[in-house]
Structures are given as C-alpha cells and as structure tokens.
C-alpha cells in the first residue's frame, strides 16, 4: 500500500462528536457551579479555578485550610476544620462533585477525532468508487424520495458492504470497506 500526501474525508461522525461535546460542556458547567458553591462555603477567600480542579473533592479541603489558616492554630486538617466550623460540604460532595467525578476524564473533543480519512492510493480509489456509485444511485431516485430501510439493506448487500446508511437516511461510503477492514 503506497501512501500519498493527500487524504480525503470518508465520514465525519457528527452524532458522537455532539454527544462528547455535550458531556464536555456539562463538565464545564459543573466546574462553574462547584466554584460558586465553594466560594459560598469559604467566604471572601480569593482563589483561582485551577486551585480547585481537577480533584475538587480534595482541593476544597485544602482551600478551607488556607481560608481559615489564621483561625487554625492547631493546624487541623481541612476536613476537621470544616466539621468544627460547621461548614456543610456534604450536599456539594454528594451532588455536583460526585457528578463531576464521573466526568473528570472528559476532554474537549475535536472534529479530527471523529473523522475517518482515506490516505493511501487504494483507500482513495475505493472511496472514489463508492462516491461514484452513490452519485449514480441518487440519479434513480425521484426528487422527494428517500432511501428507506429495506432499500438500504439491499444496497448494503449488493455492494458487499461498501455502502452503508448515514444519518437522516443518507447513503455514505462504509469506512470499514474503504479502510479495507471488511
């Protein structure tokens, strides 16, 4: 398989990209909520967002220690200090921080991560053939006609899996076929 310098998009998985983007946005939303809640708990103590993340359930207690350092001559831990000062951290720990903990690994998705590319000469050729077939097939459909499930099943079978169904009843090249993984 000879590599070429060009590459062409086979498919972009918009659905999975959007799912991951929504999860990332929820993580950012939780960070804002957690920061505001911690500010309420420790009062006027000034801190940066970086001081609280990525592990807010531990760093919150470090911030409590720092915020009340002048009132802590015995050097008590943040957990004990919060208990003695009757700072209610349980709701925050059980709700937002617990939810954030499930999303801690999530990073901002990129379109490149959800895009498949044809890169070698043979992949580019298979992709071109699929596109020609799809273009030709669409000439047989009426203007308001769409590809239904039985038609798609027949297309998949007739092309030996080279053509598959995309979103909204579209016909797209099968990435596995183009990448010669079928």
pLDDT band, very low/low/confident/very high, at 136 (cuts 50, 70, 90): very high
Question: What is the DSSP annotation of 88-150?
Answer: --HHHHHTHHHHHHHHTT-----TGGGEEEEEEHHHHHHHHHHHHHHHHHHHTS-TT----HH
Reply yes or no: is the peptide bond before residue 22 cis, omega within 30 of 0. Answer: no
pLDDT band, very low/low/confident/very high, at 71 (cuts 50, 70, 90): confident
Nearest CA to 134 out of 126, 123, 44 is that of 126
**In this structure, what are the phi and psi dihedrals at residue 173, rounded to the nearest 5 degrees?**
-65, 140
Is residue 69 within 8 Å of 45, Cβ to Cβ?
no
Overall size of the chain counted in residues: 182
Q: Tell whether the model's pLDDT for residue 160 goes beyond 80.
A: yes
Nearest CA to 12 out of 87, 119, 112 is that of 112
The domains of the chain are located at: 16-103, 111-178
To 5 degrees, how large is the angle CA 95–CA 100–CA 104?
160
pLDDT at 65: 86
Q: How far apart are CA 56 and CA 104, in angstroms?
A: 10
Q: pTM for the whole thing? A: 0.75
% of the chain exceeding 90 in pLDDT: 42
């Amino acid at each position: 398989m000879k590599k070429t310098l060009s590459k062409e998009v086979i498919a972009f998985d918009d659905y999975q990209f959007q799912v991951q983007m929504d999860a990332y946005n929820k993580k950012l939303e939780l960070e804002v909520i957690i920061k505001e809640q911690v500010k309420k708990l420790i009062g006027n103590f000034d801190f940066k967002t970086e001081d609280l993340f990525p592990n807010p359930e531990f760093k919150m207690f470090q911030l409590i220690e720092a915020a009340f350092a002048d009132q802590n001559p015995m050097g008590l831990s943040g957990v004990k200090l919060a208990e003695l000062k009757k700072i209610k951290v349980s709701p925050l720990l059980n709700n937002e921080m617990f939810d954030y903990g499930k999303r801690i690994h999530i990073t901002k998705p990129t379109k490149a991560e959800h895009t498949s590319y044809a890169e070698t000469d043979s992949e580019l050729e298979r992709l071109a053939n699929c596109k020609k077939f799809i273009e030709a097939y669409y000439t047989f459909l009426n203007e308001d006609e769409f590809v239904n499930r039985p038609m798609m099943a027949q297309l998949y079978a007739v092309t030996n899996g080279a053509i598959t169904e995309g979103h909204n009843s579209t016909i797209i090249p099968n990435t596995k076929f183009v990448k010669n993984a079928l």
